């Protein structure tokens, strides 16, 4: 019984790390993967590097062609920012 009590703080530390660090990170990665899979032609997107553009073509190898002011460029779907794109496409709230 005494041996279990000595390992209890270590076990609790791993449980807390899982609940507050690992699990939310896995959930976010799953959401980003779903977002990349749901992209379609014509979507306005922002890449992680800050490039604004419109999706022209989606390839089966995980890449896409984005048209921007600089022309057509090829990106990995994972390079498209879910948060920035959602913020850009969110409806604008009117100020009173």
- Residue 96's pLDDT band (cuts 50, 70, 90): low
CB distance 65 to 72 below 8 Å: yes
Q: Which residue has the tokens 């994972």?
A: 78
What pLDDT score does 47 carry? 94
d(CA 42, CA 55): 5
Q: pTM for this structure?
A: 0.72
Could you tell me the residue ranges of all domains in the chain? 2-89
Q: Which residue has the tokens 């896995």?
A: 26
What pLDDT score does 91 carry? 80
Of 79, 91, 90, 68, the residue nearest 39 (C-alpha): 79
CATH architecture, domain 2-89? Roll (2.30)
List, in order, residues 6 or more apart from 35 with CB less than 8 Å away. Answer: 80, 82, 85
């Amino acid at each position: 019984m005494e041996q279990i009590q000595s390992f209890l703080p270590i076990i609790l530390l791993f449980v807390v790390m899982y609940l507050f660090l690992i699990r939310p990170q896995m959930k976010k990665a799953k959401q980003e993967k779903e977002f990349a899979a749901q992209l379609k032609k014509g979507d306005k997107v922002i890449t992680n590097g800050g490039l604004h553009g419109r999706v022209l073509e989606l390839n089966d190898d995980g890449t896409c062609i984005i048209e921007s002011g600089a022309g057509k460029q090829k990106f990995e779907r994972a390079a498209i920012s879910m948060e920035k794109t959602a913020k850009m496409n969110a409806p604008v709230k009117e100020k009173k």
